[in-house]
A and B are shown apart, each in its own frame.
Chain A
Amino acid sequence: MTDRTQKTLKLRGPIFIILILSLFYPVKFSAPLLAADDSGELTVLTKQIIESSSGKELYKPFEELRIFYFKKNQYNEFIELLKSLAEEKKELMPFVDYYTALTRYQQLLHLENTKSWDEYFGSGSLYRQEIEEKAQSTIAQLASTDPLSIYARLLLWKFHHHQQDAQRVSSLDSLMNAILEYPPGATYLLPLKEVADELSSAGEKTKARKIYDLYVKYMVASDTKEEELKQTAAGFYQEGNLNLAQAIYDAYIDKIEDSRPKEELVPILINIARDFSYKDKIPCDPFYAEKIFKKLGEVGAKNVFDEELIYLRAFNLEKIKEFSRAKDIYALLTERFSRSKFSEEALFKMGVISAYIMRDIDSAKKYFEELAQRKNKNTHKIQSLYQLGLLSQWQQDEAKAKIYYDKLLESAGKGFPETSALAKKRLKELEETKPLDYDLRTFMDASLKEENNLFDVTKVALNSSLYRIEKDTGVTISAATFGLESGSLPTAVQYSWSGDLGSAKPSMDAATFQTTYTEPGTKIINVVALSPSGIIDRSIDIIDVY
Chain B
Amino acid sequence: MRSGLNKQGHKVIKSQGHKLKATGRRWILLAACSLFFLFFLLGLTSRPKPRVYIRTLKNKHYQLIVEGKPYIVKGVCYNPIPIGESHEYDWWSDKNKPWIVDGKLMQEMGINTIRIYSCGENPEDVKRVMRDLYELYNIRVIVGHWVGLWNYPCPSYGDKEFQQKITKEVLEVVELYKDEPGVLMWVLGNENNYSCLGRVRPWSTEKIDNEPDPQTQIFMRAKIYYSFINELTKKIHEVDPDHPVALGNGELMLLDVANQFCQDIDAVACIIYRGKSFGNLFNSLRTTFDKPIVLTEFGADAYNAYDKKEDEGMQAFFLESQWRHIYENLANEEGAGNCLGGTSFEWSDEWWKHNESDPEGWNIHDTESFWGQGSYYIDAKAGKNINEEWFGIVALSEELENGLNKRTPRKSYYVIKEFWRNPKLKKDDK
Which residues does A use to contact B, with CB under 8 Å?
A: 112, 115, 117, 120-121, 124-126, 129-130, 163-167, 169, 454, 484-491, 531-533
Contact = CB atoms under 8 A, between A and B. Distances in A.
A130 B427 CA distance: 9
Contacts of A166: 282-283, 325, 328-329, 334-336
B317 A120 contact: yes
Contacts of B314: 115
B350 interface: no
Contacts of B200: 486, 489, 491, 532
Nearest to B274: A164
A164 B276 contact: yes
Contacts of B199: 484-486, 491, 531-533
Given A484-B199, A488-B273, 11 more contacts: A129-B425, A164-B276, A165-B277, A165-B325, A166-B282, A485-B253, A486-B194, A486-B199, A486-B250, A488-B371, A489-B201
18 contacts: A117-B317, A125-B425, A126-B425, A129-B425, A129-B426, A163-B276, A163-B321, A164-B325, A166-B325, A166-B334, A485-B194, A485-B253, A486-B250, A487-B191, A488-B191, A488-B250, A490-B370, A533-B199
B50 interface: no
The residue in A112, A130, A487 that gathers the most chain B C-beta atoms within 10 A of its C-beta is A487
B253 to A, nearest CB: 6
Interface residues of B, number: 45
Contacts of B334: 166-167
Contacts of A165: 277, 324-325, 328
B418 interface: yes
A3 B108 CA distance: 48
Given A486-B199, A487-B250, A488-B297, A121 B316 contact: yes
Nearest to B297: A488
A375 B425 CA distance: 82
B411 interface: yes
A117 B297 contact: no
B202 interface: yes
A243 B304 CA distance: 36
A455 to B, nearest CB: 11
B209 to A, nearest CB: 12
Interface string B289-326: 00000000100000000000000011011001100110
Given A166-B329, A166-B334, A126 B202 contact: no
Contacts of A115: 313-314
Contacts of B426: 129
Contacts of B201: 489
Given A129-B427, A163-B321, A121 B214 contact: no
A21 to B, nearest CB: 32
B242 interface: no
Contacts of A169: 280, 283
A490 B214 contact: no
A163 to B, nearest CB: 7
A166 B314 CA distance: 22
A437 B280 CA distance: 47
Contacts of B389: none
A164 B279 CA distance: 6
The 8 closest A-B pairs by CB, nearest first: A164-B277, A487-B250, A117-B313, A166-B335, A125-B425, A490-B371, A491-B199, A489-B200
Given A166-B336, A485-B251, A117 B316 contact: yes
Contacts of A491: 199-200
A126 B295 CA distance: 26
B273 A121 contact: no
A165 B280 CA distance: 8
Nearest to B375: A164
Nearest to B415: A121
A166 B334 CA distance: 8
B229 interface: no
Contacts of B133: none
